[in-house]
Amino acid sequence: MSLTLKHLTRLRSLHQRIKTAQTGTPIELAKSMHISERTLREDLKLIKNWGGKICYDQKSGTYYYSSDFELKINFEVIAITLYGPNKDEYN
């Protein structure tokens, strides 16, 4: 599965909300993240497939992790300029 930068950013945000147990209901969470409930379910399933034990507390109205889980998503941009023998020519 190839994940876009937008999707990875969304997953990182979702993880942080679950980690702090401040998601709200599924409808509220989907609206606050500007996604459909179906997309939310797919993202939750993906995190579960990666080992996150996600539960939902109906009384508190929030998702939470039932055991410690850390999801690290980092981005790195590296610019490399290659010069030809005359240093004015680009490869």
pTM of the model: 0.78
53: helix, strand or coil: coil
- The yes-or-no verdict on residue 86 having pLDDT over 80 is no
- The yes-or-no verdict on residue 84 having pLDDT over 90 is no
Helix (H) / strand (E) containing 2? none
22-55 pLDDT, tens digit each: 999 999 999 999 999 999 999 999 999 999 999 9
Burial class from Cβ neighbours inside 10 Å (0-12, 13-18, 19+) for residue 71 reads middle
